[in-house]
Amino acid sequence: MTLTATDLDFQRPLDLICMGRVAVDFYAEQIGSPLEDAQSFRKYLGGCAGNISVGTSRLGLKSSMFSRVGSDDMGKFLTQTLNREGVDTSRLIVDSDHLTGLVILGVDPPDRFPLIFYRKQCADMQMDPVDIDPTYIGSSKALLVTGTGFSQPGMYAASLQAIMTAHTQKTAVILDIDYRPVLWGLTSPGDGESRYYDSEPVTATYQKILPYIDLIVGTEEEIHIAGGGATPQDALSRIRQVSSAPIVMKKGALGCEVHLASGEVVECKPFPVEVFNVLGAGDAFMSGFLRGWLTGKAWRDCGQYGNANGAIVVSRHGCAPAMANFEELQHFINTYHKDSDVLDSPALATLHRQSVLGAPQQKELLILAHDHRVQFEQSCELLNQDPSLIADFKQLIHQGFQKVWNQFPHRGLALLVDPQYGMETLKTSAYQSYTIGVPIEAAGSFPVQWLSSKNLYSELLERPSSWFVKVLWHFHNDLSEDLKTVQLQQLKQLHEVCVSLDRKLMLELIIPGKFPINGNSLSGAIRTVYEEDVYPYWWKIPPVDSSDEWQLITKAVDAFDPHCGIVLLGQNASMDRFQAWFSIARQTPHTVGFAIGRTIFWQLWEQFAQGKIESEAVQEEIARRYEELIQVWDASRSNTTES
């Protein structure tokens, strides 16, 4: 008996278990280039089942990855990526005897997309029937299996065991036909691009599985290999002889068709777009379609979600990172017929950023900022000290920070570090889990200039991708036109590089000294930045003294990017000022934390530079003051809630 969407148990904790391929994709960055001429690649999570687990999670489903990865660094990357995407990895097995699978892919639109699979005895094909746990399978509405899982005997046995277990648990079984001739040994090992190759043994294998499937999804070519016959219609008829399951035929730019057992065919209209990269479009379609099917939507709604998600992904580089979140998907569907440039719109890009980088408002950011340079140098000159002392002191700041982080490793503790005097901190922090930010501006520059003489893109490319980028940027709408133009041009350049490299940008907005710092000046500058199509991930702004002024600021942010985060800078204020400032700022959800430094360490620095305090005491006092500030932050939330 075929399970339908109405038969699903909506009380189960998981919506979908994705069983099968999860690997690392290396996409060439040189577009239109033969793979042999590619110079650089972007690393993404890939594999049919892995992509779908991410795609469905982004669309609001609770998905779980059921597979294996190697104990190598690429396996760690996949696990970390899945966890960051909200995918359950409790059944992602680490296999120390096999390497994580890799794929190298090229992008040569509109119709050439070479790829090479490096998957000989890879980890995700080592699943075993003993891995199948009925309780786990029964915890989900549905189980997704992929065609590649039937291409090797061991994986075939595991996949079949999972399917049979799903039937006993009343868990729906979904088949993504996922036909890759090279993975069935039908082409030369380097020919991953060929999408179709007639094979009676492959068809016979699919025919054995089809009677146990509740939803079948594939392209026209994949339906053909699953059913056999001379035409797609023959294939559909042959599948129908062994299965009453709905058959979803993906037709690319023509949309999709849902063929029901009754003979009815539901046609779902496409969203034609210019194709940039077709690789992974089918996984995007499946993710969108399942968002509808697993939430009880009508067939046309399922098809609309699938077609829209596929259209979004074919316009982008990569697959898993290109997947839409549900708000983004809805915006695309609602705007597509009104705005021909919706795929290039800042609004869609901003919504997508929440998926690529994470939603700013979902994680607090409690930054101990010690990226100061000019202030330290001036102090050394005044105290007749060698500037090398600055680096020594910044290591003490880091050690004090670590004392607090060791107590609260799961909170959003972070460091803002300059590479000039804080390089030792950056080196020792590379493998830690706390957040690191590094400035990009030359110290004290106004108009803003860059820290390095290197090309800006090259400078950020060489930094670890997990580091966020901070720029200190002076602006007021009443600056001279020439100065405003320079400042905005520099900021736009930085923003474009951050977008292209998927870097988080923290914009520290400084109102120049001759202008007042208030809600009007800050909100006016914020609006101007957004009107220039610059969308920071976080704003770093000074606190204000009244709720009315704070509302002016947050209204400006809300008008353009309601999901943006805000952190407060400290201005070397005394500790007792922050309770009121935090309470005001936390009246709105944008405020995620602070980036404060001199309030914590400047007095200690002056004592240290004059030889009046020992290093150990500096560490201890840094830790005490930082923890005290965190306590003030926590108390301000209670005060806000009570008020």
**In this structure, what CATH number is given to the domain that contains residue 132?**
3.40.1190.20
pLDDT of res. 112: 86
Predicted confidence (pLDDT) per residue in 289-315, tens digit: 999 999 999 999 999 999 999 999 999
Same-domain status, 314 and 374: no
Q: What is the mean pLDDT of residues 494-518?
A: 95
How far apart (Å, rounded) are the C-alpha atoms in residues 467 and 460? Answer: 9
Angle between helices 232-242 and 220-227 (to 10 degrees): 50
From 357, 377, 402, the end of a domain falls on 357
Strand ranges across the sheet with 102-105: 41-46, 23-28, 102-105, 115-118
Q: In CATH, what number is assigned to the domain containing residue 397?
A: 3.20.20.70
Same-domain status, 300 and 428: no
Same-domain status, 308 and 393: no
pLDDT of res. 619: 97
Same-domain status, 404 and 465: yes
How far apart (Å, rounded) are the C-alpha atoms in residues 248 and 435? Answer: 44
232 versus 598: the higher-pLDDT residue is: 598
Q: What is the mean pLDDT of residues 262-281?
A: 94
Predicted confidence (pLDDT) per residue in 159-201, tens digit: 999 999 999 999 999 999 999 999 999 999 888 888 788 899 9
Same-domain status, 310 and 391: no
Q: What is the pLDDT confidence band of residue 431, given thresholds at 50, 70 and 90?
A: confident
| pLDDT reading at 389 higher than 60 | yes
- Tell the residue number behind the tokens 């923290």, with chain if given: 506
Q: Which domain holds residue 147?
A: 5-357
Predicted confidence (pLDDT) per residue in 608-638, tens digit: 999 999 999 999 999 999 999 999 999 998 6
Number of H helices, E strands in the chain: 21, 21
- Percentage of residues of the chain with pLDDT beyond 90: 89
Tokens for 216, please give them.
């079948």
Angle between helices 481-500 and 519-531 (to 10 degrees): 60
Distances from the Cα of 429 to the Cα of 84, 415, 467, 601, angstroms = 20, 9, 11, 20
Same-domain status, 330 and 365: no
Supply the mean pLDDT for the chain: 95
Q: What is the mean pLDDT of residues 532-551?
A: 96
Same-domain status, 111 and 251: yes
- Tell the residue number behind the tokens 């060698």, with chain if given: 386
pLDDT of res. 640: 55
Same-domain status, 245 and 114: yes
Same-domain status, 377 and 448: yes
| pLDDT reading at 643 higher than 50 | no
Strand partners, 42: 27
Within a 10 A sphere around the Cβ of 44, how many other Cβ atoms?
Answer: 24
How far apart (Å, rounded) are the C-alpha atoms in residues 116 and 107? Answer: 13
Same-domain status, 228 and 80: yes
Predicted confidence (pLDDT) per residue in 124-141, tens digit: 999 999 999 999 999 999
Q: What is the mean pLDDT of residues 567-583?
A: 94
| Type of residue found at 504 | K
Q: What is the pLDDT confidence band of residue 108, given thresholds at 50, 70 and 90?
A: confident
Provide the pairing of β-strand 565-569 with 14-19: unpaired
Sign of the CA dihedral with 337 first, then 340, 346, and 351 last: positive
Same-domain status, 406 and 313: no
How far apart (Å, rounded) are the C-alpha atoms in residues 111 and 98? Answer: 34
In the chain, the number of structural domains is 2
Distances from the Cα of 540 to the Cα of 334, 534, 566, 588, angstroms = 33, 15, 6, 15
Q: What are phi and psi of 604, to 5 degrees?
A: -65, -35
pTM of the model: 0.92
Predicted confidence (pLDDT) per residue in 217-226, tens digit: 999 999 999 9
Low-confidence winner among 111-115, 140-144, 315-319, 557-561 (lowest mean pLDDT) = 111-115
Residues sharing a CB contact under 8 Å with residue 235, sequence separation 6 or more, in sequence order: 223, 224, 225, 226, 227, 228, 229
* Enclosing H/E stretch for 483: helix 481-500
pLDDT of res. 639: 61
Within a 10 A sphere around the Cβ of 572, how many other Cβ atoms?
Answer: 14
What is the per-residue burial (b if ≥16 Cβ within 10 Å, else e) of 210-235?
bebbbbbbbbbbbbbbbbbeeebeeb
CB 200 within 8 A of CB 191: no
Within a 10 A sphere around the Cβ of 7, how many other Cβ atoms?
Answer: 12
From 324, 357, 390, the end of a domain falls on 357
How far apart (Å, rounded) are the C-alpha atoms in residues 459 and 450? Answer: 10
From 318, 338, 357, the end of a domain falls on 357
Same-domain status, 128 and 213: yes
- Tell the residue number behind the tokens 């008020």, with chain if given: 643
How far apart (Å, rounded) are the C-alpha atoms in residues 5 and 430? Answer: 47
Q: From the CA atom positions of the chain, what is the Rg in Å? A: 27
Predicted confidence (pLDDT) per residue in 320-377, tens digit: 999 999 999 999 999 999 998 999 999 999 999 989 998 888 899 999 999 999 999 9
